[in-house]
Amino acid sequence: MSANLTTIIEYINQNRQIYTREAITSQLVSAGYNPSEVEAAWGSVDSGVPAPPSGYAGAAGLSGGSWDSGSPEQSRPQRLMSSPAFWGYMAGFVLLSYILPGGLFWLGTSNSDGLIMNIAIGMFLLLQLGALMGGVVSLSRNRPRGVGLLTGVLMTLVVLPVCAFAVFFGMCLASFGTMGTI
């Protein structure tokens, strides 16, 4: 097996769970590989030819990892949704952004001073802004953390309020519907 064919097979195996066949083929051809070699590599991959040996370096100019440790975990990238870090950051942020300001807001309702309530609202907004900035910065360094924080912001500002509004609206419609039958 030629070095180019082995490199192409490695690249295909690393990226076929993420990108379409057409996108991978396009990337390889634009990197300068012969289209017939790319098709031959796809034939080998589809027929089940094993991946390159451990310690084999990846192709220059192609993005994707390299086979430097030979561990089976590196041959396939972990899906984001199956990452415990993603779920931990997202759930932790959603809980933190509702519980902390919510506690201050509840404390502020017992006092006549509106300052505590304003602090609670400000804290909520600062948490959202901080998670938004932290999520964008973390995307390149720690993808599960970055996407978890950004998803938490989306859940906190859009999804959960819209769901709460839909439930409230449904309850109003249901109560108005029973008023006409009396």
pTM of full prediction above 0.85: no
Number of compact structural domains in the chain: 2
Residues belonging to the chain: 182
Summarised one tens digit per residue, pLDDT across range 87-98 is 999 999 999 988
Same domain, 32 and 111: no
Domain boundary among 60, 75, 90: 75
Could you tell me if 86 and 148 are in contact, meaning their C-beta atoms sit under 8 angstroms apart?
yes
Which pLDDT belongs to residue 92? 92
Range of the domain at 66: 3-75
